[in-house]
Amino acid sequence: MGKILILCTSAGSFTGGPTGLWLEELACPYYLFKEAGHEVTVTSVSGGAIPIDAGSMGAGFFTDACKKFLHDPEAVGALCHTLSITDCKASSYDVVYVAGGHGCCTDMADNNNLTSILEGVLASGKILAADCHGPMCLAAMKKPDGSPLVAGLTVTGFSDSEEAAVGNTDKVPFLIEARFKELGANYVKGDDWNPKACEDGNLITGQNPQSSEACAKLVLARL
Protein backbone atom coordinates (compact mmCIF):
# COMPACT_ATOMS: atom_id res chain seq x y z
CA MET A 1 0.00 0.00 0.00
CA GLY A 2 1.33 3.42 -0.96
CA LYS A 3 0.94 6.79 0.70
CA ILE A 4 -0.62 9.49 -1.49
CA LEU A 5 -0.89 13.18 -0.65
CA ILE A 6 -3.51 15.12 -2.63
CA LEU A 7 -2.68 18.84 -2.68
CA CYS A 8 -5.47 21.38 -3.23
CA THR A 9 -5.63 25.14 -3.52
CA SER A 10 -6.50 27.25 -0.49
CA ALA A 11 -7.57 30.22 -2.60
CA GLY A 12 -11.24 31.10 -2.66
CA SER A 13 -10.84 34.05 -5.02
CA PHE A 14 -9.25 34.75 -8.38
CA THR A 15 -9.02 38.23 -9.98
CA GLY A 16 -11.66 39.45 -7.56
CA GLY A 17 -14.20 36.71 -8.16
CA PRO A 18 -14.99 33.49 -6.28
CA THR A 19 -13.16 30.28 -7.18
CA GLY A 20 -11.49 27.36 -5.43
CA LEU A 21 -10.94 23.67 -5.97
CA TRP A 22 -12.65 21.99 -8.93
CA LEU A 23 -14.30 19.24 -6.90
CA GLU A 24 -14.11 16.49 -9.54
CA GLU A 25 -10.34 16.81 -9.55
CA LEU A 26 -10.20 15.82 -5.89
CA ALA A 27 -13.14 13.44 -5.65
CA CYS A 28 -12.28 11.19 -8.58
CA PRO A 29 -8.62 10.48 -7.68
CA TYR A 30 -9.50 10.30 -3.97
CA TYR A 31 -11.77 7.32 -4.51
CA LEU A 32 -9.63 5.65 -7.17
CA PHE A 33 -6.64 5.74 -4.83
CA LYS A 34 -8.57 4.53 -1.79
CA GLU A 35 -10.30 1.74 -3.72
CA ALA A 36 -6.87 0.55 -4.87
CA GLY A 37 -5.87 0.19 -1.23
CA HIS A 38 -3.65 3.24 -0.84
CA GLU A 39 -3.51 5.59 2.13
CA VAL A 40 -4.81 9.01 1.06
CA THR A 41 -4.23 12.32 2.84
CA VAL A 42 -5.71 15.62 1.67
CA THR A 43 -3.64 18.76 2.17
CA SER A 44 -3.82 22.35 0.96
CA VAL A 45 -1.46 25.22 0.32
CA SER A 46 -2.29 27.10 3.53
CA GLY A 47 -4.20 24.53 5.61
CA GLY A 48 -7.74 24.65 6.95
CA ALA A 49 -10.92 24.22 4.92
CA ILE A 50 -10.56 23.97 1.14
CA PRO A 51 -12.88 26.27 -0.85
CA ILE A 52 -14.88 24.63 -3.63
CA ASP A 53 -15.57 26.39 -6.92
CA ALA A 54 -19.36 26.56 -7.14
CA GLY A 55 -19.12 25.95 -10.86
CA SER A 56 -17.84 22.44 -10.21
CA MET A 57 -21.17 21.58 -8.60
CA GLY A 58 -23.18 22.77 -11.58
CA ALA A 59 -25.08 20.64 -14.07
CA GLY A 60 -22.77 18.50 -16.16
CA PHE A 61 -19.84 18.87 -13.74
CA PHE A 62 -21.22 17.41 -10.51
CA THR A 63 -20.17 13.84 -11.18
CA ASP A 64 -21.05 10.70 -9.25
CA ALA A 65 -17.67 10.91 -7.50
CA CYS A 66 -18.48 14.48 -6.42
CA LYS A 67 -21.86 13.44 -5.05
CA LYS A 68 -20.32 10.52 -3.20
CA PHE A 69 -17.62 12.78 -1.75
CA LEU A 70 -20.02 15.35 -0.33
CA HIS A 71 -22.11 12.59 1.29
CA ASP A 72 -19.05 10.90 2.79
CA PRO A 73 -18.35 12.18 6.34
CA GLU A 74 -14.72 11.04 6.25
CA ALA A 75 -14.11 12.76 2.91
CA VAL A 76 -15.82 15.99 3.99
CA GLY A 77 -13.82 15.95 7.19
CA ALA A 78 -10.62 15.63 5.17
CA LEU A 79 -11.72 18.57 3.00
CA CYS A 80 -12.54 20.80 5.95
CA HIS A 81 -9.54 20.12 8.19
CA THR A 82 -6.32 20.06 6.19
CA LEU A 83 -2.75 20.61 7.24
CA SER A 84 -0.78 23.00 5.08
CA ILE A 85 1.62 21.46 2.57
CA THR A 86 4.44 22.98 4.65
CA ASP A 87 3.46 20.78 7.60
CA CYS A 88 2.97 17.54 5.69
CA LYS A 89 6.56 16.38 5.00
CA ALA A 90 5.57 15.85 1.38
CA SER A 91 8.70 13.88 0.48
CA SER A 92 7.66 11.14 2.91
CA TYR A 93 4.76 10.24 0.60
CA ASP A 94 5.04 8.02 -2.46
CA VAL A 95 2.94 10.43 -4.54
CA VAL A 96 1.98 14.08 -4.39
CA TYR A 97 -1.07 14.66 -6.59
CA VAL A 98 -2.00 18.29 -7.32
CA ALA A 99 -5.71 18.83 -7.97
CA GLY A 100 -6.83 21.77 -10.10
CA GLY A 101 -9.27 24.65 -10.10
CA HIS A 102 -8.67 28.31 -10.87
CA GLY A 103 -7.68 28.81 -7.25
CA CYS A 104 -4.31 27.38 -8.32
CA CYS A 105 -3.78 30.58 -10.30
CA THR A 106 -3.81 32.51 -7.04
CA ASP A 107 -1.66 30.41 -4.71
CA MET A 108 0.33 27.94 -6.81
CA ALA A 109 1.57 29.88 -9.83
CA ASP A 110 4.19 31.94 -7.99
CA ASN A 111 4.83 30.28 -4.65
CA ASN A 112 8.51 29.86 -3.82
CA ASN A 113 7.86 27.71 -0.77
CA LEU A 114 5.63 25.33 -2.72
CA THR A 115 8.16 25.20 -5.56
CA SER A 116 10.89 24.13 -3.14
CA ILE A 117 8.71 21.45 -1.55
CA LEU A 118 7.70 19.93 -4.88
CA GLU A 119 11.25 20.01 -6.21
CA GLY A 120 12.14 18.00 -3.12
CA VAL A 121 9.44 15.45 -3.91
CA LEU A 122 10.94 14.71 -7.32
CA ALA A 123 14.50 14.85 -5.99
CA SER A 124 13.62 12.11 -3.50
CA GLY A 125 12.43 9.86 -6.32
CA LYS A 126 8.72 10.17 -5.60
CA ILE A 127 5.88 10.65 -8.09
CA LEU A 128 4.50 14.13 -8.76
CA ALA A 129 1.17 14.38 -10.59
CA ALA A 130 -0.90 17.45 -11.47
CA ASP A 131 -4.18 17.91 -13.33
CA CYS A 132 -5.80 20.84 -15.19
CA HIS A 133 -4.57 24.06 -13.46
CA GLY A 134 -2.51 22.03 -11.01
CA PRO A 135 0.42 22.01 -13.49
CA MET A 136 0.78 25.77 -12.92
CA CYS A 137 3.02 24.82 -10.00
CA LEU A 138 5.47 23.14 -12.41
CA ALA A 139 6.40 26.28 -14.34
CA ALA A 140 8.72 27.67 -11.67
CA MET A 141 10.31 24.34 -10.79
CA LYS A 142 13.91 23.58 -11.75
CA LYS A 143 15.95 20.49 -12.44
CA PRO A 144 19.09 19.95 -10.33
CA ASP A 145 21.14 21.66 -13.07
CA GLY A 146 19.00 24.80 -12.81
CA SER A 147 17.14 24.36 -16.10
CA PRO A 148 13.32 24.44 -16.18
CA LEU A 149 11.80 21.23 -14.85
CA VAL A 150 9.53 20.78 -17.87
CA ALA A 151 12.26 21.40 -20.48
CA GLY A 152 12.43 18.36 -22.74
CA LEU A 153 9.61 16.59 -20.90
CA THR A 154 6.24 15.56 -22.29
CA VAL A 155 3.57 17.36 -20.27
CA THR A 156 0.05 18.68 -20.51
CA GLY A 157 -2.26 21.01 -18.60
CA PHE A 158 -5.24 23.28 -19.23
CA SER A 159 -4.91 24.31 -22.87
CA ASP A 160 -4.90 27.86 -24.21
CA SER A 161 -8.09 27.20 -26.17
CA GLU A 162 -9.86 25.88 -23.06
CA GLU A 163 -8.75 28.95 -21.09
CA ALA A 164 -10.14 31.14 -23.88
CA ALA A 165 -13.40 29.23 -23.82
CA VAL A 166 -13.95 30.08 -20.15
CA GLY A 167 -12.97 33.71 -20.71
CA ASN A 168 -9.81 33.80 -18.60
CA THR A 169 -7.06 34.28 -21.18
CA ASP A 170 -6.21 37.76 -19.92
CA LYS A 171 -6.81 36.95 -16.25
CA VAL A 172 -4.56 33.99 -15.50
CA PRO A 173 -0.94 34.65 -14.40
CA PHE A 174 0.16 32.80 -17.54
CA LEU A 175 -1.27 30.39 -20.07
CA ILE A 176 -0.05 26.91 -19.20
CA GLU A 177 0.30 25.68 -22.78
CA ALA A 178 2.17 28.79 -23.94
CA ARG A 179 4.44 28.92 -20.88
CA PHE A 180 5.37 25.25 -21.06
CA LYS A 181 6.30 25.65 -24.72
CA GLU A 182 8.40 28.71 -23.88
CA LEU A 183 10.21 26.64 -21.26
CA GLY A 184 11.09 23.97 -23.82
CA ALA A 185 8.51 21.36 -22.87
CA ASN A 186 6.91 18.93 -25.29
CA TYR A 187 3.39 20.12 -24.52
CA VAL A 188 0.69 17.74 -25.78
CA LYS A 189 -3.09 18.00 -25.67
CA GLY A 190 -6.25 16.28 -26.73
CA ASP A 191 -9.43 17.89 -27.99
CA ASP A 192 -10.89 20.50 -25.66
CA TRP A 193 -12.85 19.01 -22.75
CA ASN A 194 -11.71 15.47 -23.55
CA PRO A 195 -9.45 13.29 -21.39
CA LYS A 196 -5.69 13.57 -21.92
CA ALA A 197 -2.98 12.52 -19.50
CA CYS A 198 0.68 11.76 -19.98
CA GLU A 199 3.71 10.67 -18.01
CA ASP A 200 7.40 11.35 -18.35
CA GLY A 201 9.45 9.60 -15.72
CA ASN A 202 7.98 10.40 -12.31
CA LEU A 203 6.03 13.40 -13.61
CA ILE A 204 2.39 12.80 -14.56
CA THR A 205 0.05 15.50 -15.88
CA GLY A 206 -3.59 15.80 -16.95
CA GLN A 207 -5.12 18.39 -19.26
CA ASN A 208 -8.51 19.32 -17.80
CA PRO A 209 -11.25 18.24 -15.36
CA GLN A 210 -12.21 15.43 -17.73
CA SER A 211 -8.67 14.05 -17.34
CA SER A 212 -8.80 13.44 -13.58
CA GLU A 213 -9.53 9.73 -13.98
CA ALA A 214 -6.87 9.19 -16.65
CA CYS A 215 -4.31 11.10 -14.62
CA ALA A 216 -5.06 9.14 -11.44
CA LYS A 217 -4.92 5.84 -13.31
CA LEU A 218 -1.43 6.66 -14.62
CA VAL A 219 -0.40 7.24 -11.01
CA LEU A 220 -1.81 3.86 -10.00
CA ALA A 221 -0.03 2.15 -12.87
CA ARG A 222 3.22 3.84 -11.89
CA LEU A 223 2.85 2.68 -8.28
201 Rama class: left (phi>0) / alpha (psi -120 to 50) / beta: left
Angle at 203 between CA 53 and CA 170, to 5 degrees: 40
- Average per-residue pLDDT for the chain: 97
pLDDT at 60: 87
Between CA 187 and CA 176 the distance in angstroms is 9
Q: List strand residue ranges (DSSP E) for 60-202, in order.
A: 83-84, 95-98, 127-131, 154-155, 186-187, 197-200
Residue 169 has pLDDT above 90, yes or no: yes
pLDDT band at 175; cut points 50, 70, 90: very high
pLDDT digits (tens, 9 = 90+) for 24-68: 999 999 999 999 999 999 999 999 999 999 999 998 899 999 999
Residue 16 has pLDDT above 90, yes or no: no
Q: List strand residue ranges (DSSP E) for the chain, in order.
A: 3-8, 13-14, 17-18, 39-44, 83-84, 95-98, 127-131, 154-155, 186-187, 197-200, 203-206
Output helix, strand, coil percentages for the chain, rounded to the nearest 5. Answer: 40, 20, 40
Length of the chain: 223
pLDDT at 178: 98
pLDDT at 184: 98
Residue 127 has pLDDT above 90, yes or no: yes
Residue 37 has phi, psi (to 5 degrees) of 95, 10
All domains of the chain, ordered by start, with CATH?
3-222 (3.40.50.880)
pLDDT at 119: 98
DSSP bridge partners of 21: 52
Crossing angle between the packed helical segments 212-222 and 24-35, to the nearest 10 degrees: 30
Residue 94 has pLDDT above 90, yes or no: yes
